[in-house]
């Protein structure tokens, strides 16, 4: 291959002096998407990408594998239940209600709302009786949720739109006449550039103007705070939590709504200024159940009295190897039990415990070694629980557990029938640079012989775990003869909160070292070679592969870098970046600036280095991670590389960081796999 003719990108002599360190930023002009020069550059990059990609492969097969559709865990409200499902030919999942007699009706269909496919359903919350449904939608990938309320029986809209409700929980009071929710202050009431922040908790009475909403909480607290709010099933207890951005800690308050007005609840602190995460659940038996990682980085469940909520005692103690993820209570039994969800080295399991003593009395049978999501029970009590299940070859299913019989049965499967290719999945352990053992999932053809083109994927941040799951793009790649590996790096949540903290702030280099070591392990064990090895990551995973390609360019043949953070000196100034300085650090602090600058990919591009073939995929409406990161890094690499592998940019409009239609998902996956196949020899 020969070096392609890259679009011209001027280099400005911009150098900031930050804490005494000169920091060059030659492509700052690319930060303005409205600049005609930037628009022209993006159009030229798109033309180059289409010219260089060549015939698109994988698209038909990815589309076939996505025809499995999907199904969601049910939410029970009395005799009704609510759930989501996507059939093989649908672009988006539809939210349904099932009546007591079994009649099923669609309540929210994004394609009926907007046939262009650009509208997404962001969140739903039925009221406690199942008569009203709060739902949130956004358009074009912005995730700027507008909140509506629907009458479930008639489908009529009774409320909305209420704007500025991005990431808003909805906590209904009994009777459906009012709810607590979270809303940002109007842009006119906050400093310029801060309209994405400044959230508050409000009480809203259905049928009244939002001008009459009562502010309950948040005044005078940090602008980057996120708030959680919930109300117990009986309506007595209000719970409010506050996280500073994405920090792995929260403050927590409760109020007795029978002892103070709902529009002026008297909040009592349960936890303030403590470096841990805690959530509460008010049991039907009068006890308060506490899920916390305080003094237990893998999590534990404690019990307390609501009248003394800070005085806990262990019910289900921390497991030395498994992370406690969630729990459900089944109390319509002679011996009430608690089901506890765990992930043991990223593989899910559910144990059964005596509700009174916490004694482990059994386990819930699960379909295989995979991922369990969302254990749900009937809010008013019962003997059944429902949970989602998936693994690398199983599309999402819903399983039902009956505590009276101890049996798990299939309750609902994804509606489409697909022929899944035979693959072999294993979990291997390798050693990182500092001697730490790290795990990695390897999905490969059952008859692999010798090194194969391989994609290594990772994330390593925010305590998010990389667990097994059905993926059309992974299966299409492996079916074509490739190997797909997923490294469970520090910074994630696979081994609990200590594992997360070992890869955040000043420890971030551990994440990159774990990733390089994963690559070296795949090569050393004969799975692949460096000329056949591609790396892939999105969002914080985009930062990961950006750091990897600048730190070890010789180790990788190709890179797919999606919606990445790459300018770690200025990331706080754009999108939701200010909420992430609790994860990465802030350039305003001299010590933290040094952490960030030491690995910031954009600032470590060196002229004359043969960088791997690299594809940046970004989304013009991304309001979390601004596409400017990839634009600047793309220009820098195109200028600097001495290699013949192309540096390309795929810049997609009218989509954002999160949910998208199936057809757009297929196109992105096919383009990415086509690029990686071309440059790894698949």
Same domain, 394 and 529: no
> Cα 295 from chain centroid?
26
If we measure between CA atoms, which residue out of 301, 294, 298, 290 comes closest to residue 277? 294
Is residue 231 within 8 Å of 213, Cβ to Cβ?
Answer: no
At residue 308, the pLDDT reads 92
At residue 1, the pLDDT reads 54
> Looking at the 3D structure of the chain, how many domains does it have?
2
If we measure between CA atoms, which residue out of 272, 205, 263 comes closest to residue 238? 263
Q: Which residues are catalytic?
A: 539, 657
Q: Among 361, 393, 417, give the residue marking a domain's end.
A: 417
Q: Is 401 inside a domain boundary?
A: yes
Q: Among 390, 417, 444, give the residue marking a domain's end.
A: 417
Same domain, 510 and 652: yes
Distance CA 582, CA 277 (A): 14
* Arithmetic mean of pLDDT, 20-43: 98
Describe the crossing of helices 662-680 and 59-66 by its angle, rounded to 10 degrees.
Answer: 140
Q: Is 235 inside a domain boundary?
A: no
Same domain, 369 and 431: no
Q: Is 372 inside a domain boundary?
A: yes
Distance CA 464, CA 447 (A): 32
* Arithmetic mean of pLDDT, 641-645: 96
* Arithmetic mean of pLDDT, 121-140: 98
Q: What is the pLDDT of residues 391-447, one digit of tens each?
A: 999 999 999 999 999 999 999 999 999 999 999 999 999 999 999 999 999 999 999
The burial class, CB within 10 Å (0-12 / 13-18 / 19+), for 637 is buried
Distance CA 540, CA 457 (A): 12
At residue 396, the pLDDT reads 97
Distance CA 640, CA 611 (A): 9
Same domain, 470 and 533: yes
Is residue 340 within 8 Å of 302, Cβ to Cβ?
Answer: no
DSSP class of residue 28 equals G
Same domain, 413 and 499: no
Place of tokens 């591009």: 605
Distance CA 563, CA 610 (A): 23
Does the model's pTM come out above 0.85? yes
Q: Is 673 inside a domain boundary?
A: yes
The contacts of residue 217 (CB under 8 Å, 6+ apart) are: 200, 201, 227, 240, 253, 267
Residues in the chain: 682
pLDDT tier, 4 (very low <50, low <70, confident <90, very high otherwise):
confident
* Arithmetic mean of pLDDT, 273-296: 97
**Of all residues in the chain, what percent carry a pLDDT higher than 70?**
100
Q: Is 481 inside a domain boundary?
A: yes
* Arithmetic mean of pLDDT, 321-339: 97
Q: What is the pLDDT of residues 236-257, one digit of tens each?
A: 999 999 999 999 999 999 999 9
Q: What is the pLDDT of residues 646-674, one digit of tens each?
A: 999 999 999 999 999 999 999 999 999 99
Strands (E), 293-336: 300-305, 308-316, 322-330
Same domain, 433 and 551: yes
Average pLDDT of the residues of the chain: 97
Place of tokens 């009956």: 402
Q: Is 535 inside a domain boundary?
A: yes
Q: Among 367, 395, 417, give the residue marking a domain's end.
A: 417
Place of tokens 């900031």: 16
- Domain span at residue 433? 15-63+419-566+598-680
Place of tokens 């379909």: 367
* Arithmetic mean of pLDDT, 253-272: 97
Q: What is the pLDDT of residues 478-487, one digit of tens each?
A: 999 999 999 9
Same domain, 411 and 424: no
* Arithmetic mean of pLDDT, 269-273: 96
At residue 243, the pLDDT reads 98
Residue 631 pLDDT > 90: yes
* Arithmetic mean of pLDDT, 69-98: 97
Higher pLDDT, 310 or 165: 165
Distance CA 478, CA 457 (A): 14
Q: Is 263 inside a domain boundary?
A: no
Per-residue DSSP letters for 502-526? TTSGGGHHHHHHHHHHHHHHHHHTT
DSSP class of residue 444 equals E
CATH code for position 542: 3.40.50.1820
* Arithmetic mean of pLDDT, 271-282: 97
Residue 3 pLDDT > 90: no
Q: What is the pLDDT of residues 165-188, one digit of tens each?
A: 999 999 999 999 999 999 999 999
Q: Is 449 inside a domain boundary?
A: yes
Is residue 620 within 8 Å of 531, Cβ to Cβ?
Answer: no
């Amino acid at each position: 291959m020969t070096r392609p003719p890259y679009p011209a990108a001027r280099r400005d002599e911009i150098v900031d002096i930050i804490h005494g360190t000169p920091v060059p930023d030659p492509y700052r002009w690319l930060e303005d998407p409205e600049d005609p020069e930037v628009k022209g550059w993006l159009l030229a990059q798109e033309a180059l990408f289409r010219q260089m990609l060549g015939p698109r492969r994988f698209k038909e097969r990815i589309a076939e594998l996505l025809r499995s559709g999907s199904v969601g865990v049910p939410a029970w409200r009395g005799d009704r239940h609510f759930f989501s499902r996507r059939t093989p030919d649908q672009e988006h999942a539809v939210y349904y209600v099932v009546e007591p007699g079994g009649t099923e009706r669609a309540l929210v269909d994004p394609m009926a709302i907007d046939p262009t496919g650009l509208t997404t359903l962001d969140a739903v919350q039925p009221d406690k009786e199942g008569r009203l449904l709060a739902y949130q939608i956004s358009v074009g990938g912005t995730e700027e949720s507008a909140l509506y309320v629907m009458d479930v029986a008639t489908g009529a809209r009774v409320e909305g739109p209420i704007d500025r409700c991005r990431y808003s929980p909805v906590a209904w009071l009994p009777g459906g006449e009012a709810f607590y929710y979270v809303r940002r202050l109007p842009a006119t009431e906050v400093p310029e550039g801060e309209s994405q922040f400044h959230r508050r908790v409000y009480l809203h009475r259905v049928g009244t103007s939002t001008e009459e909403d009562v502010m309950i909480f948040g005044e005078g607290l940090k602008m980057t705070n996120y708030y959680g709010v919930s109300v117990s099933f009986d309506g007595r207890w209000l719970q409010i939590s506050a996280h500073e951005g994405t920090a792995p800690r929260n403050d927590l308050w409760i109020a007795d709504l029978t002892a103070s007005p709902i529009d002026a609840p008297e909040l009592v602190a349960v936890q303030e200024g403590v470096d841990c995460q805690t959530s509460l659940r008010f049991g039907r038996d009068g006890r308060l159940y506490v899920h916390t990682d305080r003094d237990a980085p893998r999590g534990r469940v404690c019990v307390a009295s609501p009248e003394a909520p800070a005085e806990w005692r262990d019910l289900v103690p921390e497991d030395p190897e498994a992370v406690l993820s969630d729990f459900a209570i089944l109390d319509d039994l002679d011996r009430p039990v608690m089901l506890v969800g765990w992930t043991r080295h990223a593989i899910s399991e559910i144990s059964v415990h005596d509700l009174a003593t916490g004694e482990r009395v059994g386990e819930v049978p699960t379909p295989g070694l995979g991922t369990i999501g969302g254990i749900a029970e009937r809010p008013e009590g019962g003997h059944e629980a429902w949970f989602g299940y998936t693994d690398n070859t199983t599309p999402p299913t819903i399983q039902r557990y009956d505590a009276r019989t101890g049996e798990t049965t299939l309750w609902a499967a994804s509606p489409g029938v697909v022929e899944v290719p035979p693959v072999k999945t294993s979990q291997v352990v390798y050693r990182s640079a500092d001697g730490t053992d790290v795990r990695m999932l390897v999905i490969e053809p059952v008859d692999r012989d010798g090194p194969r083109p391989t994609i290594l994927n990772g994330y390593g941040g925010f305590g998010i775990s990389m667990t097994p799951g059905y993926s059309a793009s992974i299966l299409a790649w492996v079916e074509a003869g490739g190997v797909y590996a997923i490294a469970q790096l520090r910074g994630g949540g696979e081994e609990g909160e200590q594992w997360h903290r070992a890869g955040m702030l000043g420890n971030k280099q551990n994440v990159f070292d774990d990733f390089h070591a994963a690559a070296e392990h795949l090569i050393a064990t004969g799975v692949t070679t460096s000329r056949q090895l591609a790396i892939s990551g999105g969002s914080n995973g985009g930062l990961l592969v950006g750091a990897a390609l600048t730190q070890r360019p010789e180790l990788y043949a190709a890179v797919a870098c999606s919606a990445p953070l790459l300018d770690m000196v200025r990331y706080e100034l754009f999108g939701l970046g200010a909420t992430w300085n609790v994860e990465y650090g802030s350039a305003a602090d001299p010590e933290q600036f040094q952490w960030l600058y030491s690995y910031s990919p954009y600032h470590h591009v060196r002229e004359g280095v043969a960088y791997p073939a690299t594809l940046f995929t970004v989304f013009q409406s991304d309001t979390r991670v601004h596409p400017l990161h990839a634009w600047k890094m793309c220009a820098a690499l195109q200028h600097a590389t001495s290699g013949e592998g192309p540096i390309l940019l795929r810049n997609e409009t009218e989509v954002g960081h999160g949910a998208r239609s199936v057809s757009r998902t297929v196109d992105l996956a096919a383009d990415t796999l086509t690029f990686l196949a071309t440059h790894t020899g698949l």
